[in-house]
Every structure is written in structure tokens, then in C-alpha cells.
Chains A and B, each alone.
Chain A
């Protein structure tokens, strides 16, 4: 399987000399669901921003998609990041609107996406009228409306309560199952990573590097039962151990 996104020996140094990434190597195959797991401040977000083209590496190579065609990228932030003055419909319309799609033409794309994230009845709601979970659903709808090849998610459910988080995890998996975009999911939760991903990449504390790779050989679609599976618990244990070892390493 050809890699959809790839980082080779990527170094990123911020102003005042803070080394954020010290030679990151990772590759994600087309249609693969990978979780990037690491302690806060380890450069997970920097990796996503590099992939999205919002930041550039000081050394190493970043490759997204095949050389010939630029893939469609979408990004889901930690906060829902909706425009507070715009209704849900208009927020979801934004990426298409920037691309020159009229409201009428966008309608037939937006309706099914809102349906898919369970917000069909809230198209005309303003963000402040929605709960935290619903805002995040709107944010995901906005990311999916362009039918992305690559979906980048930056701790999207970190601010939500546990029940909402589990429901959104399940719904995200279902959407992925259906559309098979390449998915890079950043999280600091071992349990969330092990529930969602086909493969876990564990990063060390700053300066960030990928220090462990854990394949999750569990059948998809996964249900709540997977959370009590012995293999799930084993992966959680291994990922926690890898995280621990990454913290213990002295800063280079």
C-alpha cells in the first residue's frame, strides 16, 4: 500500500531555539487510521500542522499524497472552531464556498454530511445554541463536506465528557468505515487511541520523535465490546509503557 502521508527525518525548531521535533519518521498508508499518541507538548500538533502545510520543516521531507495530485486535506481542531456569527449550514458550507461553490449547489453536499453527523435538524442553529458535542459534530461535518482524502484530527474530543466522547469515537469510526479517508488522529489518551486506530504511533516528550509503533490487530467495525477485550487492554498497557519510557528519556 502506498503511503498517503509521510515524514522523513523531520526537524522543527521554533524561535528561541526550542526543538519541537527531533527527526520524526512516520508513514500512513492510504485509507489507514493511525493514532498519534504522546504527552502534551511533545509536538503532536506540530506534526499535524506540517502535514496540513500550515507550518514548514527546518529539515527533512514532508510528503502528502502522490507527486502528481494534491490530495484534499481536512483538519479538525481541538476546539470546534466554528464561526460564531454563522449558522451550522454556513459553517459547513465554508470550505466549498471558498472553492467557489454556490449555496444552492452546496446544498446537496451539505445535507447528507449533516445527516451523517446527526445534525440534520440543526442546520439553521447558531453555534452558541449547540452543546459541546454538537459543535464538534458540526466541525467534523465541515471537515468531511469536501470529501477529503486525508483527515487530520487534533485531539478533537479532549474537551468533551466521557459519554459524548465515546459516542463521537464510535461515529467517527463509522464515517471512516464508509468513506475510507486516510486518518491521522492526535490524542494523549491511550484508551481513545487503542479504541480507534489500526496503528498507534507513540511519541516521546519534547523534543518529539516516534519511539514506538503498535499495530492494533482488531476487526473493524469495533463496538463497545472491544473496550473490554483482552487484546485492547494489552495494547493500552503496551502504549502506556511506551509513553512512560518516552517521558523518562533525558531531553536531548
Chain B
């Protein structure tokens, strides 16, 4: 039997997808109509149909750049997750290390990446490595700070319980601190996912690199030099799609990891 509440929930889910989709389709249709009816030239505003056609026509070179940007983004994210968790673990073990290093982590975080990127590009030989470092700097901090907070967020009574039963530091970390920190880590990962993409794209703009081993930012730059608006839009579309995909991916991951027990992901 289907309860009225279940029906309402299904409707709610449908609405959550349907409504934004309708808004998107409506906007694209209005855009297309506007361009066609007013005869706006493509070097000012290309119609969505032209953007898609350009994307299809140039998919070979764009896909290569896309794959490069994805590699930088996820590479940086992976390093940020590993480094953030590791350093957070060290902070949790030693207050001294934390006091010594936190100011530098903050400086790294608050200095705009566009300002640091040129320096890194000079010091690091490989452009790919430089881009990776830039994206990593941006993605690193949310994971670090969230995990640090998470490791401290363990229930004080449970901590006492582990003390009472004489748990080893390793048992405490595995069975108490790590699960307690997991929701915080995942929240940090969600933020860092988007930031890593931003870092990868921004650093590439600063690098102004050209050639085969370059990402979507370079495609946008090249196209802008030639005022090739449809191509700029096509590359932009891929950047935006990547951002959305990352967002959805980490929401799914959060659900898989926490759905069973954590209030933020429970129905």
C-alpha cells in the first residue's frame, strides 16, 4: 500500500529534479529565441545550438583538454585528501605541531591562488606539476580544518569509555576518532572538490600555457584571443559540467558513507 506521505515524498523528489530542469530548458529556449529573433551575431552571443555544434565539431581537441583538467583536479584532490587527513592526524596527536604549523596553513589559504601561481610556475619546471600544486593549495585547507575539527568532535563520554577500558591510541583512532571525524571529512571533501576545479582552471589561466598538455582554461584563452565566442562557450560548458559532476559525485559519496547512521544524510 502506498501511504499519502510516500506519495508526497515521491512528488517532492520529482519536483526537485523536474523544476530545475524546466528552468534550464526554458532559459536555453529563451536564449535561442532571443539570438534568432534579434539576429544577434555569434561573435557577441552564440546561440545554444551553435555552442553545441561547436562542441561536437571540436570535441577531439576539447576532450583532450577536458581530460587534462579532470586529471589535475582529481590529482590535486587526492593529494589534498591524503595530506589533509595525515596532517590532521598529526595535529590531533600533537598540540605543539598544530600550534607551530596552523598559521602557515592559514597564510596558504588566505593568499589568493592567482597571486601565488606565477611564482610557483617560475619555480617548478613542469607546468603540470605547478598546476597540480596550485590546485592542491586551494583544495587542501577545507579538508585539513574539517578533519581537525572532526577528530576533536568525538563524544567526551565515549573518550572516557575508551580510557576506562584502556584502549591503545591506535584502537582509539580506528574505532572512535576516525568514525567521529568522517562526516566532517566528507563535508570538507565536498567543498574541496569544487575548489580543486577552480584551482586547476585559475592556475592554468595564470600559466597561460599553450600546446597539447593543457586544459580547458587554455582552450578558453586561445578562443578568446581569436574572439571565437562559440568555442569559449563550448569549453565553459565543459568546465561547468565538470563542476556539477563533482558536486553530484561527492553528494553520492556522502550518502554511501554516512547514509546509514549520520543525521545529515538520513531520510
A81-B155, A83-B179 as given contacts; A54 in contact with B160, CB under 8 Å: yes
B6 within 8 A of A: no
B262 close to A84 (CB less than 8 A) = yes
* Nearest neighbor of A152 in chain B, beta-carbon distance: B164
Q: Could you say which residues of chain A place their CB within 8 Å of the CB of B266?
A: 128
A248–B164 Cα distance when bound, in Å, is: 36
A73–B160 Cα distance when bound, in Å, is: 13
A50 within 8 A of B: no
Q: Report the count of interface residues on B (CB-CB < 8 A).
A: 21
A81 close to B158 (CB less than 8 A) = yes
Q: Could you say which residues of chain A place their CB within 8 Å of the CB of B155?
A: 81
Query: 1/0 per position for A18-57, CB-CB distance to B under 8 A?
Result: 0000000000000000000000000000000100111000
Q: Which of A49, A74, A84, A126 has the most CB of B within 10 A?
A: A84
Q: Could you say which residues of chain B place their CB within 8 Å of the CB of A128?
A: 261, 263, 266
Q: Could you say which residues of chain B place their CB within 8 Å of the CB of A49?
A: 160
> Which residues 155-177 of B have a CB within 8 angstroms of A?
155, 157-158, 160-167, 171, 175-176
Q: Which of B176, B260, B261 has the most CB of A within 10 A?
A: B261
A99–B166 Cα distance when bound, in Å, is: 8
A-B contact count (CB 8 A): 52
A83-B179, A85-B261, A128-B266 as given contacts; A98 in contact with B162, CB under 8 Å: yes
A132 within 8 A of B: no
B175 close to A75 (CB less than 8 A) = no
A231 within 8 A of B: no
Interface of B is mostly: helix
* Nearest neighbor of B178 in chain A, beta-carbon distance: A85
A49–B161 Cα distance when bound, in Å, is: 11
Q: Which of B165, B167, B182 has the most CB of A within 10 A?
A: B165
A85 close to B164 (CB less than 8 A) = no
Q: Could you say which residues of chain B place their CB within 8 Å of the CB of A85?
A: 179, 182, 260-262
Q: Could you say which residues of chain A place their CB within 8 Å of the CB of B164?
A: 52-54, 73-75
A79 close to B157 (CB less than 8 A) = yes
User: How distant is B18 from chain A, measured CB to nearest CB, in Å?
Assistant: 31
* Nearest neighbor of A52 in chain B, beta-carbon distance: B164
B158 close to A98 (CB less than 8 A) = no
A86–B180 Cα distance when bound, in Å, is: 11
A94 within 8 A of B: yes
B167 close to A83 (CB less than 8 A) = no
Give 15 A-B pairs besides A77-B157, A98-B162, A128-B263 with Cβ atoms closer than 8 angstroms: A52-B160, A54-B164, A75-B164, A81-B161, A83-B175, A83-B179, A84-B261, A85-B179, A85-B260, A85-B261, A94-B175, A97-B175, A126-B261, A128-B261, A128-B266
25 A-B residue contacts at CB 8 Å? A49-B160, A52-B160, A52-B164, A53-B164, A54-B160, A54-B163, A73-B164, A75-B164, A77-B160, A77-B161, A81-B155, A81-B157, A81-B158, A81-B161, A83-B176, A85-B179, A85-B260, A85-B262, A86-B179, A94-B165, A97-B175, A98-B162, A98-B166, A127-B261, A128-B266
Q: Which residues of A contact B (CB under 8 A)?
A: 49, 52-54, 73-75, 77, 79, 81, 83-86, 94-95, 97-99, 126-128, 146
